[in-house]
Amino acid sequence: MKFFVDTGDIDEIKTLAATGMVDGVTTNPSLIAKSGRDFKEVIQQICSIVDGPVSAEVAATDYETMRKEAEVIRKWGDNIAVKVPLTEDGLRVCKELSDDGTLVNVTLCFSPAQAILAAKAGASFVSPFVGRLDDISQDGLQLISDIVRIYDNYPQFDTEVLVASIRNPLHIVESAKMGAHVMTAPPAVIRQLYKHPLTTSGLAAFVEDWKKTGQSIL
């Protein structure tokens, strides 16, 4: 499973990238707004740090304006993935960009039917939102299972399942067990993967035992 980090925080991206935990980055207007910086400047800086895909989202919702924005955004870096909404106009833009060799991330997917449309439009990634479905008492992980199963039935589909709206490590682990290709999560959730009480207590015991020896490696 590829790990994308869902943030516009440059320092967080650099720190996680140094550990090998970043295969790509996803952003959206809300995340960039939190940085208080210029949208283009942030995206270009992220592209210079990360070798993998960097998703940058269009702001428009109509075809004509989305298409114009996409033309601008895709020139910001060789590893740009233009992010478009899973709407009729968004998929039209997706088809044209994909045919032209541009990576496209189709976002706001909430049903298997929508995921089929994204694959038919040639999306590089489809982003089903697990947490937001859980929030309304629907099973977000079931959506991941359904999409992976459908895509597996059709080898001609090149679209990767990019699990989004991840709220906890269980979302990541269960999605990996289902065979999802990519997950994107906030830095804080990625760091939770490191944590286990037995690791903490075991390390503390090792440190204490080492102190008792009175030795030093350095």
Helix (H) or strand (E) holding 89: helix 88-99
3-class DSSP assignment, residue 26: strand
Contact 168/137 with Cβ under 8 angstroms? no
Distance CA 175, CA 162 (A): 10
Closest CA to 147 of 132, 163, 136: 163
User: Which of these is catalytic: 2, 40, 68, 83?
Assistant: 83
Catalytic-residue membership of 83: yes
130 Cβ neighbours under 8 A, 6+ residues apart: 140, 141, 143, 144, 163, 164, 165, 166, 167, 171, 175
**54: enclosing H helix or E strand:** strand 54-57
Looking at the DSSP bridge assignments, the partners of residue 55 are 26, 81
Catalytic (active-site) positions: 83
